[in-house]
Amino acid sequence: MIRICFHGAESTGKSVLARRLEARFGWPWVPEYGRAYCEERGVELTMADLLAIAEGQDAAMRAAAASGPELLILDTDPLMTAAWAEMLFGEVPDALTGYAKADLYLLFAPDVPWVEDGTRFFGSAEARARFAAVAEAMLVRAGVPYERVSGSWAEREAQVVAAIGRLSEKNERN
């Protein structure tokens, strides 16, 4: 099974694109657990909340993987929760970086309009740029493979499909 994780600052199209790819290709995806968590409990988050979000995201990913799909899209994973910890609290507990990693991370640039939806925090250009940098630093810190995704919605979709295609071909050769 190939696990592809969408990673990056909020409001960069990760969830929208995951839904589109499922509709277009039938690729299953694991939604962002943190969104449901915040919609239910509010956005006044503590570190304990972030640890619970990471645990919930991991459980959802493991449940989706149990059916054995060839490809699984992760709207996010605990590494993004680690970036949230850095942004909100200036520290990252080891527990947030200890979860299983995806085969490839696709880092979404904050170059599309930010949309307020009631669960988002960092809408200014400066905050979005800082969050994008923290998200990328988390990937570097974890030593995971990643590619950047940017541009229009159509360009983003084409870049993601191409990245998945390259990884699939590589896995077939190995």
Quick: pLDDT tens for 111-165: 877 656 655 566 577 888 898 999 999 999 999 999 999 999 999 999 999 999 9
Residue 133 near residue 1, CB atoms below 8 Å: no
Q: How far apart are CA 33 and CA 59, in angstroms?
A: 9
According to DSSP, the β-strands at 104-108 and 146-149 are parallel
Q: Is the pLDDT of residue 31 over 60?
A: yes
Q: Is the pLDDT of residue 64 over 60?
A: yes
Q: How far apart are CA 42 and CA 65, in angstroms?
A: 29
Listed range (48-62, 103-117, 135-149) with the worst mean pLDDT: 103-117
Every domain of the chain and the residues it spans: 2-173
pTM of the model: 0.91
Torsion of CA 4, 19, 92, 55, to 10 degrees: -90
According to DSSP, the β-strands at 2-8 and 29-30 are unpaired
2-173 folds as Rossmann fold (3.40.50)
Residue 29 near residue 22, CB atoms below 8 Å: yes
Query: Alpha-carbon Rg of the chain, whole angstroms?
Result: 15
Q: Is the pLDDT of residue 1 over 60?
A: yes
Q: Which residue has the tokens 């993004």?
A: 80
Q: Which residue has the tokens 């059916």?
A: 67
What is the percentage of the chain residues whose pLDDT exceeds 70? Answer: 94
Backbone angles phi, psi at 156, to 5 degrees: -60, -45
* Residue 97 or residue 12, greater confidence: 97
Q: Which residue has the tokens 């919930």?
A: 56
Residue 102 near residue 4, CB atoms below 8 Å: yes
| Nearest C-alpha neighbor of 69 from the set 26, 124, 122 | 26
Residue 34 near residue 76, CB atoms below 8 Å: yes
Q: Is the pLDDT of residue 100 over 90?
A: yes
Residue 9 near residue 115, CB atoms below 8 Å: no
